[in-house]
Amino acid sequence: MRHTEFWSRMEDALGTSYYRVWAGQFVMADLGGRTAAEALDAGVPPKQVWAAVWRALDLPARDR
C-alpha cells in the first residue's frame, strides 16, 4: 500500500474534514503509542498503519 492509498482510505472512513485531524491526534497502542501520522513519519509501512486504524475504528471487513 502506498501513502496515497492510505490517505484515500482514511478520507473514505472518516470524511474530508476530519481524517487528517484524527490521524494527527488519535494515539494507538498498536503503533507504539503514536498517532497514524507519527507512525508514517517514523517509517512504519502504510499497510501496517492502516491495519491499526482499521482495528481502532472497528471498520467492516471489506475495508481491511
**Taking the model in full, what pTM does it have?**
0.92
Domain, as residue range, for 37: 3-63
Q: Which residues of 22-54 are buried (b: 16+ CB within 10 A; e: fewer)?
A: bbeeeebeebeebbbbbbbeeebebeebbebbb
**Number of domains composing the chain:** 1
How many angstroms separate the CA atoms of 26 and 36, rounded?
A: 8
Q: Does pLDDT of 64 surpass 90? A: no
Reported as a single tens digit per residue, the pLDDT across 2-61 is 999 999 999 999 999 999 999 999 999 999 999 999 999 999 999 999 999 999 999 888
How many angstroms separate the CA atoms of 37 and 16, rounded?
A: 16
